[in-house]
Amino acid sequence: MAIEVHKNLGPGLLESAYQAALVYELCEAGLNVKQQVCMPFVYKNIKQDIGYRIDIIVENKVIIELKSVEKLPPVYYAQTLTYLRLSNLKLGLLINFNTPILKDGIHRIVNNL
């Protein structure tokens, strides 16, 4: 579905445009989709709301983090893995839509719990 979005929109837009289009496609496919999900941060048993948000969660199983950048620095991979750990989910996709061929911008990240 991300490839369909990329085919229709191409690279160069803001992340929010790709998120809206991808959420639309996922919902049209009948999937349970949540977007901009607050990720609580707990430190020494104290829950703090410090603004972490997961872009998309599909079927309460897969995190999708979207980017639209020239190049993915290592911090984006670490961010996605951290979201997986904090949410106790196993699989994440880090997708950079700012690539000529989207398959080069899709990265699978696994939380080895």
Domain tally, the chain: 1
C-alpha dihedral over 68, 23, 93, 17, to 10 degrees? 0
- At 7 the pLDDT is 96
Q: Domain range holding 86? A: 2-110
> Alpha helix (H) ranges present in the chain?
2-9, 15-28, 74-87
For 21-38, the pLDDT digits (tens) are: 999 999 999 999 999 998
Mean pLDDT of the chain: 94
Q: What is the pTM of this model?
A: 0.91
Domain of 96, CATH number, reads 3.40.1350
The predicted structure's pLDDT at residue 8: 96
Q: Quick one: angle between helices 2-9 and 15-28, nearest 10?
A: 130
